[in-house]
Amino acid sequence: MIYLGCAGWSVAREYAEAFPADGTHLQRYAERLNAVEINSSFYRPHRPATYARWGASVPDGFRFAVKVPREITHTRRLVDCDVALSSFLDQCGELGERLGCLLVQLPPSLVFEPVVVARFFDRLRQVFPGAVAVEPRHASWTAAQSLLVEMRVAQVAADPPRFGVDSEPGGWPGLVYWRLHGAPRMYVSEYSQDYLKALALRLAQSDQAGVPTWCIFDNTAAGAALGNALQVRTWIE
C-alpha cells in the first residue's frame, strides 16, 4: 500500500475544484488522498475526542501519520519521557485502525547516542507495536542503522537531505517513509515533473516489493504540496 498525502489537510484554493465541494476540509481531502501527516500534535496535545472525530470522518482505507510531541523529542530529548509518551499515545490512539504511523522528528542538535536511543525506542516498542519512522537531522545518525533495524524503526528519506544517508529510505526495511520539504526553498518550492515521475517510480517499486510506503509532501507554505501529491497520485493509481 502506498500512503500518499500532505503535512496537513488544508485544501488550497487553486486546487479546490479537484475535491468535493461538501464536507469538512478533512473529509474533502480524504476523498482524493489516502493519508495525511498531523503536525499540530508536535506543538500541542489534542483531546482524545478530537482524534476520534478525525478518525470517524475519513474512509476505511485512509491513514494518519502523527508527529510525536516536541516535549519528547526536543525538550526531553528522548530521556525520561514515559509519562509524556503515554499521554500522547492515549490521545492519538483514538484514531484506532486509522493510526498508520508515528513520526519522530529530531532536532538538528540531537547526536546519536546508542544507549539513549535504544532505551527510548525499546520503551516505545513496549507500548506501541505499529509503524514508526524517525527523521534525524544530525550526521552522527549514519551510525544508527543497525539499531533502527533491531527496533523496527524506519529512517525517513528527506528532501532536501541533511546528511549523507538521509536522502534514501533507511533503518528498518519493513517500512518506507518519504518526507519532502520542497527544494530549493524549503516548505515553499514545488517539485518538477521529472522529480515527481522518478519519485512515483520509487514508490511503485517499494509497493511491488510488499513494503508499506509513505510519501508526505511538506512544502505546504504556498500550497505546492497538494498539487505535487495530486500529480503523483495520477502516476501510481
What is the CATH classification number for the domain harbouring 123?
A: 3.20.20.410
CA angle 177, 133, 12 (to 5 degrees): 55
pLDDT number for residue 12: 86
Burial class from Cβ neighbours inside 10 Å (0-12, 13-18, 19+) for residue 184 reads: exposed
Q: What is the pLDDT of residues 218-231, one digit of tens each?
A: 999 999 999 999 99
Q: How confident is the model at residue 237 (pLDDT cuts 50, 70, 90)?
A: confident
Residue listed under C-alpha cell 538538528: 108
Q: What is the mean pLDDT of residues 80-92?
A: 98
Cα–Cα distance list, 93 to 9, 87, 135, 146, 209 (Å): 20, 10, 21, 28, 29
Structural domain total, the chain: 1
Query: Which residue range forms the structural domain that includes residue 228?
Result: 2-236
Task: Assess whether pLDDT exceeds 80 at residue 106.
Answer: yes
Q: What is the pLDDT of residues 112-150, one digit of tens each?
A: 999 999 999 999 999 999 999 999 999 999 999 999 999
pLDDT number for residue 164: 77
